[in-house]
Chain A
Amino acid sequence: MKNRTVRTAVLGAACAALLATAACGSGFDDDKAAAPARQSAGPAELQILIGSSGDAETTAVKDAAAAWAQKSGSTATVTPAQDLAQQLGQAFAGDNPPDVFYVDASRFADYASVGALEPYADKLTGASDFYPSLRTTFTYDGTFYCAPKDFSTLALVINDDMWAKAGLGEGDVPTTWDQLREVSEKLKAKGVTPLAIADTRDRVGAFMVQAGGWITSPDGKQATADSPENLTALQYVQSLLKDKLAQFPSRLDAGWGGEAFGKGKAAMTIEGNWIKGALKADFPDVKYSVHELPAGPKGKGTLSFTNCWGVSAKSRFKQQAIDFVEAMTTVDQQMAFARAFGVMPSRQSAKDAYTKEFPADAPFVNGADYAQGPVNAPKMDSVLADFDTGIQKLTSSDPKALLERVQKNTQAALG
């Protein structure tokens, strides 16, 4: 008797649980069914999620969004994310993504491959005005998905005082790998660490590009990690590390290259244009100059980092969202952003205005012509993290074995 009651009760609880699931399940669907037909014109309520670099960026984007909202009669709510990748992941899983959001270039393929992004970029006016390397970065399966917001490239940053103390002049700025080695040896003879370089493919990768290699083929379909070019690059970096001509920032008690450089623990570093703001804020007394990265055996090479304005494929206000992006990517607006938080415009037509206003940044902007974007293929995150692990151990490991490992993992990820 008792047993049956217990069973009934358990059954009841199970039913309740199932009902709850069903309710949740239908909740997901209800949202979609109840969503009004996609509005293509008229006022919209745009939700914009940004991965902001700081208050300056948040304020600038909020102001720009407010100006657009007033002009178009819509509302635009800008929310800075704490952890953009995680928040976007949750929003997509909950079927309630923001209408417009930043998409980091290294995650772009993950989002595009699952159909989360609206491929709108070719509809923008002057879509061909964006730098070709940035267009490639945001192209998946031949479709240009989203408009590059702005971009950064890597360059060689030199501490002028330490440079002069080592008896080096302006003419000594290295333009080839051999020269980089030479000046490093001179700096080391003076007892300073010559180069601080972060232990990740996002810095070491620049040498791979200079040697003519990269992790994947340009279309992102083939693994090309295990190539003689990449081997040359890693061997060169390894030799710098082994001879203490270069050091990882963590070995210099710094979180990143800019910090090691600002603290005066290294005479040179390889970083992007974000280092300007960081040095101004934390180490205002450091005198430095920026130069293009030294060229490798196959010429100049650098890495570019960028975000695009992603528009959700599930947005109710796609047309307005695209309008919004259009307004955010005009030359004037990009220049306003550049002034506010030091990013470089992604439109080629803004290049002249930018270099005129920020002449010291020319090496960064010039990098756009030969820059390589992040690996543009989905499911590569863990593979690249594993590559970083290998780079961290580069001083004591065999570069050839490391590249073979990356090759194997990349092939598995690309399928």
Chain B
Amino acid sequence: MADTVADTAPAPAPAAPRAPRPGPRLSAAVRENIAGWLFVAPVVVILGLFLLLPILMAMWVSLTDWNGQGSPFRPGVPFVGTENYTRLFTEDGLARQDFMTSIRNNFYYVAIVVPAQTVLALGLALIVNSRMLKGKTFFRAAFFFPSVTSSVAISVVFLFIFANSGAVTSLLKVFGIDGPQWFSDSRGVLHLLLGGLGLADPDNPPAALTDGGPFGLSWWEWLSGPSVAMCTIIMLVVWTTSGTFMLMFLAALQDIPVTLEEAGMLDGAGRRQRFRHITLPLLKPTLFLVLTLGLIATWQVFDQVYVMSQGNPAKTTLTPAFLSYQTAFRSFEYGSGTAISFVLFAIIVVLALLQRWIMRDRDPARRTRRS
């Protein structure tokens, strides 16, 4: 057994010169390749059948006007080309408006959640990792706990906490603040901020901003910021996910050799300098991982929206993932729904690549050393 594995496993590696064997017509390299493919075949078949194939089928559906009756692969299903996609971008109508609203909502959501959860996770990890802290296990478990709880259960709990007579509103009342009606408040916080600073009146926005704007939404609408209702979802998600990412940072922190830290101390580096010049650079791969995972997960936010708000109030918690579901399964426009999910997929891929490019290693010396 061990023999065969050793013989056949490294399929992609260029064949090293080997003693010829008697008998077979095929060369050793080809046999190795075939065996290699045979070994990976189960995974290829499973991935192909349950991942690639459904994606291709969905891709086909997104090019049709299938109405959900019978199989979408029958003759007679109207093929509409890229119309489902162009409708999201070029046609002035409800489809584009909803889609762009959902993009706007999700953009603000990502822009707040990803930095917030990363910083919070790093902070928690540093605290839990510090040698001064007593009861580390307890804090580790406490911070990690929200991550392992069902997102639906947590969402329901947050519904209660943020209800108009819930804990948060009561707490604010103690401090004499009349809190907002969280889940029914569709006002954008950026609008509120502009109003608070006296730069613009939310009830009577400046005409320069309301008159036009890209993709069917006015500049004023684009600049709304997340709504108050969306902020509750943002708080919920930051709280639940930072535990997971804390664990990743913690693992990376514990990998940093103490000797480096001590060397820094000997060189007279202060606490802050050590963090800035030793810890942070060594955490870079983990930081990349956390940011990428965060970016992907936040663009796909669905369950919290489904449980807590269903896109309400006033579509300010509508996200592309939820809109895709709604379009396909509520309005029976499966083509539009799948088109939205493919656009979402493209957005995530482009942003992940962009982020990779921004965080690329700019130190040529190190790069050569690595390769």
Contact = CB atoms under 8 A, between A and B. Distances in A.
Contacts of B334: 93
Interface stretch (A62-70, A222-230, A386-394): A386-394
Contact of A116 (B69, B163, B315, B329): B69
A314 B181 CA distance: 48
Q: How many of chain A's residues touch chain B, expressed as a range?
A: 35 or more
A213 to B, nearest CB: 21
A6 B70 CA distance: 37
A16 B45 contact: yes
Given A5-B30, A379-B331, A393 B57 contact: no
B314 A89 contact: no
Given A5-B33, A89-B329, A382-B98, A251 B184 contact: yes
Name, among B29, B313, B327, B330, the residue most crowded by chain A CB atoms within 10 Å (CB to CB): B330
Contact of A250 (B95, B184, B330): B184
B311 to A, nearest CB: 8
Interface stretch (A17-25, A154-162, A234-242): A17-25
Task: Identify which of A252, A382, A393 gathers the most chain B CB atoms within 10 Å of its CB.
Answer: A382
A179 to B, nearest CB: 29
Contact of B181 (A24, A251, A382): A251
Given A95-B70, A382-B94, A20 B331 contact: no
A353 B163 CA distance: 44
Given A16-B45, A89-B332, A93-B69, A409 B30 contact: no
B286 interface: no
A261 B30 CA distance: 78
A13 B53 CA distance: 11
A86 B334 CA distance: 12
A92 B181 contact: no
A9 B37 contact: yes
B64 to A, nearest CB: 13
Contact of B69 (A115, A251, A393): A115
A383 B95 CA distance: 10
Contacts of A85: 329-330
Contacts of B331: 110, 379, 381-382
A392 B312 contact: yes
Contacts of A386: 94, 97-98, 315
Interface in A9-55: 9, 13, 16-17, 20-21, 24-25, 28-29
A194 to B, nearest CB: 19
B45 A92 contact: no
A271 B61 CA distance: 40
B34 interface: yes
A85 B72 CA distance: 19
B314 A389 contact: yes
Interface in B108-167: 163-165
Nearest to A396: B203
A376 B163 CA distance: 36
B34 to A, nearest CB: 7
Contacts of B74: 28-29
B73 A25 contact: yes
Contacts of B15: 2
A412 interface: yes
A interface majority secondary structure = helix
B322 interface: no
Interface string A373-405: 000000101110010010011001000000000
A352 interface: no
Contacts of B52: 17
Contacts of A9: 33, 37
A248 interface: yes
Contact of A114 (B14, B67, B163, B186): B67
A1 B30 contact: yes
Contacts of B281: none
A367 B269 CA distance: 82
A253 interface: yes
Contacts of B57: 21
A412 B327 CA distance: 16
Nearest to B163: A253
B181 A250 contact: yes
Nearest to B49: A20
A89 B337 CA distance: 14
Contact of B68 (A28, A93, A252, A382): A93
Contact of A393 (B14, B56, B186): B186
A409 B94 contact: yes
Interface of B: 14-15, 27, 29-30, 33-34, 37, 44-45, 48-49, 52-53, 56-57, 67-74, 93-95, 97-98, 163-165, 181, 183-184, 186, 203, 312-315, 326-327, 329-334
6 contacts: A13-B48, A21-B73, A250-B181, A250-B184, A251-B181, A386-B98
Given A20-B48, A114-B332, A383-B94, 9 more contacts: A1-B27, A2-B15, A20-B53, A28-B71, A89-B332, A114-B68, A115-B69, A251-B184, A409-B94
